[in-house]
């Protein structure tokens, strides 16, 4: 594989598993030195670092709670200490899928704190350290504009906020040639949402391609947006969902 991101400094939040882990592996394979965060599983993070290094890449893992404002701030300061950042991927997020009337305060607040405030904080802390031509990429969701059931209202709201944020920041950072884009995934086969899980048949029936996406397919779009080939793409929310939300 041609290393299109050779020696670039990248930060990926929520990189310990699922889509985030695939993004870490892909950016490292493209030549970036990737610092990624994980919430709780130190062993899984260590295994990811080992996989990256065995493939000839470079990565390190840092435990960070994206809902804690000080932790992303320290992460960015430490990651940029060698001269700056080139790529920031705001992937940390999550959701409790329940009708609004069944969501308790803790679940409601956690989605807002991590998906919205955590994303805003990461970007505002990182941008002063981004070199000209840097890339900011958020991992959103097709739920920002497509909710076929009654359990995604608050989660979808948080992802719609991210899509709006990206449009505004694209104008704000454009004069520095920093692009800001949003990757909106549909159903993707992960531990949290397996393609053979109890809800998979209903979701699969809504996807024209008839299958869940893979984490590597999402990571491929992230790697493209991080590359010089995508330098004119800015302020976009791009669905990677097999037509699920079309």
Rounded CA gap, 150 and 233, in Å? 33
- The alpha carbon torsion through 85, 61, 63, 77 (nearest 10 deg) reads -20
Low-confidence ranges of the chain (pLDDT < 50): none
**pLDDT reported for residue 131:** 95
The domains located in the chain, with CATH, are: 9-240 (3.40.50.720)
DSSP class of 70: H
Classify burial at 220, counting beta carbons within 10 Å of its beta carbon; exposed 0-12, middle 13-18, buried 19 or more. middle
**pLDDT reported for residue 192:** 86
**pLDDT reported for residue 99:** 78
Q: Which residues pair with 238 in a beta bridge?
A: 183
**pLDDT reported for residue 1:** 58
**pLDDT reported for residue 66:** 85
Return the residue matching tokens 């009337």: 101
Q: Which of 33, 38, 155, 244 is catalytic?
A: 155
> Shortest CA distance to 27 belongs to which of 49, 46, 8, 53?
8
Rounded CA gap, 32 and 159, in Å? 27
User: Within 13 Å of residue 30, how many CA atoms lie on the same side as its CB?
Assistant: 24
Based on the residue annotation, tell me whether 155 is a catalytic residue of this protein: yes
């Amino acid at each position: 594989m041609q290393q299109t991101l050779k020696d670039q400094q990248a930060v990926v939040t929520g990189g310990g598993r699922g889509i985030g882990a695939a993004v870490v592996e892909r950016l490292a394979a493209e030549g970036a030195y990737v610092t990624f965060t994980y919430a709780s599983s130190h062993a899984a993070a260590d295994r990811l670092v080992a996989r990256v290094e065995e493939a000839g890449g470079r990565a390190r893992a840092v435990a960070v709670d994206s809902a804690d404002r000080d932790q992303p701030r320290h992460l960015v300061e430490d990651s940029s200490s060698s001269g700056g950042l080139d790529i920031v991927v705001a992937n940390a997020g999550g959701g409790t899928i329940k009708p609004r009337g069944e969501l308790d305060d803790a679940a409601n607040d956690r989605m807002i704190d991590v998906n919205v405030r955590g994303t805003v904080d990461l970007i505002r802390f990182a941008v002063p350290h981004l070199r000209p031509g840097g890339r900011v990429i958020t991992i959103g969701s097709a739920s920002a504009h497509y909710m076929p059931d009654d359990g995604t209202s608050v989660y979808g709201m948080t992802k719609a906020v991210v899509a709006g944020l990206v449009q505004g920041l694209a104008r704000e950072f454009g004069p520095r040639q920093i692009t800001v884009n949003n990757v909106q995934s549909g159903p993707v086969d992960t531990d949290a949402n397996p393609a053979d899980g109890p809800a998979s048949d209903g979701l699969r029936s809504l996807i024209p391609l008839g299958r869940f996406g893979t984490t590597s397919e999402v990571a491929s779009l992230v790697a493209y947006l991080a590359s010089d080939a995508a330098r004119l793409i800015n302020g976009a929310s791009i669905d990677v969902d097999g037509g699920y939300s079309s």
